[in-house]
Amino acid sequence: MQFTAGQIATLINGQVEGNASATVDSFGKIEEAQQNQLAFLANPKYEEFLYTTKASIIIINDTQELKETLAATLIRVPDAYSAFAALLRKYQQMATQQLSGVEEPSFIHSSAVLGQNVFIGAFTYVSEGARIGDNVKLFPGVFIGRNVSIDNNSILMPGVKIYHECTVGKNVTIHAGSVIGGDGFGFAPQADGSYKKIPQIGNVVIEDFVEIGSNATIDRATIGSTLIKAGAKLDNLIQIAHNVEVGNNTVIAAQSGVSGSTKIGNNVQIGGQAGIVGHIIIADGTRINAQSGVSKTIKTPNTTLTGSPAFDYTSALRSQAVSRNLPELEKRVAELEKLVQQLLNERIGI
């Protein structure tokens, strides 16, 4: 697809500076972009490439001052990074909207209901009672279980598995290999030391505008629902256990794990490889640093935590500063002990 600077400016509410008829047909990083490519500059560290790039069109901030005359056409916007991201989303939507129809071989149960402009890739299996909304895209190898509901404009990438009775909201993206609705890890210990499985008869509810990365697993509830609320973003390789609730617009980075029945508030930020125990509550706005282990309820909103077990970030920094000074402190304590001993000796006349 080819676009002019004028068309792009209209899409992102920008102002063209230069040739509005200049065209691009692909994207490039500003340090590598070639002719007929679109680039952007948001980070001042890359400003030098503004004057050497071969990009035909560049999106820049309104406040960007030019030190030299540029051959490229510029599009000025209040926030170049956000504008470029919005443009990429529009481009992706245009590309996916072109997909429609059912590829073969695939299986769609006679009782399944398909909306308008649906795409179903080859080797996809849609079970009985499933409801697929308008403009939904199911890429090859997707499995949709019994009575699953997927609402309008959602995209399931190759190999996604949605178990029975789960629901997926509008404008949700689930990346390749993720499993939604597998059994929660529920086993009752027996007197003989063995474990008996507890049936997991709940489901998973994913609300609107959620994005889930590749190879993530979200377990179904024992009873009720495991809930991922609207706007939440989950990275690759994340484990969400049974009956967990993840709040609105909460973000969780890769390789993190949340144990059963924990409730995570709204706008929480969780770093990579963090671990959270079960049956606790994480207050709204909490920030949990990478590799932290959270073992108790966080009641105060907007708290920042680090370490394992996790505790207040500011206190942790002080502790780290003290730890770095321990060799010097040990030396000073030894000198003080020596001085005290000398004073005692003098006092008793030794």
Active site residues: 242
Query: Which residue shows structure tokens 């490039």?
Result: 28
The length of the chain is 350
Task: List phi, psi (to 5°) of 220.
Answer: -70, 155
Contact 297, 280 (CB under 8 A): yes
Beta-carbon count within 10 A of 246 CB: 30
Contact 28, 38 (CB under 8 A): yes
CA 6 to chain centre: 33
Nearest 5°: the CA angle 230, 236, 242 is: 60
Distance CA 126, CA 160 (A): 12
Nearest 5°: the CA angle 329, 335, 340 is: 125
Can you say whether the dihedral through the CA atoms of 284, 286, 290, 295 is positive or negative?
negative
How close are the terminal C-alpha atoms of the chain, in Å?
A: 95
